[in-house]
Amino acid sequence: MFALASALLALAATSATALPTISTLTTRASTTPAQNLCGTPDDSVVIADNPWIVYNMMYNAADIVGSACTGFTGLVTGADGEQKCGWNSTWDIAEVASTSNVPKGYSFVGLTQNLENSIAAIASIPATYDWVRSNDSAYKGNVCFDFMTSDTKGDSTSSAAQELMLWLRYEGGQLPIGYAAGVVATITLYGKQWSLYQGVNTDTGITVSSLVVDQADQYYGYFAGDIKDWLLALVSQGLFTTSTFVNVGNAGMEPFYGTVSFENKLGLQINLA
């Protein structure tokens, strides 16, 4: 995760409440065919007529001994009857001692619509994230949401921008930036306890604030919640105000090593007030 903030720059260039509906997506078809992204370190595909981009952002591809791929499998209907982005993430990465603590990249689905609005202008960010994991070896990596905010509209490159991570599940001893400095705060969110860590990504100068769910209470294949509640929880900690802009938003996995595959369904969108 240590180079994730800088990797997201490429993407940027292109209250506990009931979960709001995302039924506006149920009528959206797409002409985008299913495809697997395994080539260049920045393979991506924009999903036509939907608010998503599928991205195989392997920013440390030179350290991969093996392969890491991200696939768009098509639009799917979840158990809740809502339309979602079907995608997968497949890693076959050898564990090499010199790079075992290096994230190889980020396999994710990002938002392409209604970004660069302030938190105050956003009514909700409903999210449902289903994943089924199959692994043939021990692995290191996580399942997370990753957003970037700034007091300047569109800014995700300056040191004034902030990267926000929500760790749903983590394996293999992965640690957030700022771990050595200790827990900044303990927050109750989505009915669980989370620890807040903060530190500066030395590659970018951007402060990363990671909210990590307690290990004993990690998510096992399903998350549902309003992402705005997460942002408001950080507002209550004084990280920023509701006038800050949400400039990048996505959900995915960070591979370090291992032979593992994830089959995913993601529902995520920004609803404006």
Return the domain boundaries, the chain.
Answer: 4-154+220-226+242-272
**C-alpha dihedral (146, 199, 12, 44), degrees to nearest 10:** -60
Global pTM value = 0.92
Q: What is the pLDDT of residue 17?
A: 32
Q: What is the pLDDT of residue 19?
A: 37
List average pLDDT for each run of 10 residues in the chain, which is 273 residues long. 51 41 57 90 90 95 96 90 94 96 96 98 97 93 98 95 97 96 98 98 93 96 97 98 98 97 97 93
Assign domain 4-154+220-226+242-272 to its CATH architecture: Sandwich (2.60)
Q: What is the pLDDT of residue 82?
A: 85
Question: Quick one: tokens of 101?
Answer: 């603590």
Q: What is the pLDDT of residue 204?
A: 86
Rounded Cα–Cα distance for residues 178 and 73 (Å): 36
Other beta carbons less than 10 A from residue 161's beta carbon:
26
- Whether the CB-CB separation of 174 and 1 falls below 8 Å is answered with yes
Q: What is the pLDDT of residue 107?
A: 97
- Whether the CB-CB separation of 87 and 262 falls below 8 Å is answered with no
